[in-house]
Amino acid sequence: DPKIIQKPKYLVAVTGSEKILICEQYLGHNAMYWYRQSAKKPLEFMFSYSYQKLMDNQTASSRFQPQSSKKNHLDLQITALKPDDSATYFCASSRQGDQAPLFGEGTRLSVL
């Protein structure tokens, strides 16, 4: 059974719309992350959270907003979608400080 659940697996959106990507982990980890994978940049770090607090943000655009409502949740809200946002978004988690991040299966987003 997958321990990091991402929903939905596939998502199609129109330019200018808003979407929320869901991530839940059942590994007991206290750190969670978002990464993006596209044809232009294979795997790119976006955000990291530890104990539900933002630790690092490498995303230049404020259109990307992580949301942590529970300690094992880290959703990603994307507003004013653009075709360039088309990518696969991976959620990952780890035990803060001493463990390699483990990845979910991703949400493949297509913006038309």
Partner 1 sequence: GDSVTQTEGQVALSEEDFLTIHCNYSASGYPALFWYVQYPGEGPQFLFRASRDKEKGSSRGFEATYDKGTTSFHLRKASVQESDSAVYYCALAQMNYNQGKLIFGQGTKLSIKP
Please list every residue from 74 through 103 that binds partner 1, using CB under 8 A.
90, 92, 94, 96-103
Sequence-ordered list of residues with C-beta below 8 angstroms from that of 11, at least 6 positions apart, any chain: 19, 21, 107, 108, 109, 110
* 33 scored as a contact of partner 1 (CB under 8 A): yes
Report, in Å, the least distance between residue 52 CB and partner 1.
14
Which residue in 21, 23, 31, 76 binds partner 1 (CB under 8 A)? 31
Tell me whether the omega of the peptide bond preceding residue 8 falls within 30 degrees of 0, making it cis.
Answer: yes
CA distance 9 to 112: 17
CB 107 within 8 A of CB 8: yes
Report, in Å, the least distance between residue 47 CB and partner 1.
9
CA distance 66 to 57: 10
Nearer of residues 27 and 79 to partner 1, judged by Cβ: 27
Interface contacts to partner 1, rule CB under 8 A: 4, 31, 33, 35, 42-45, 48, 55-56, 58, 90, 92, 94, 96-106
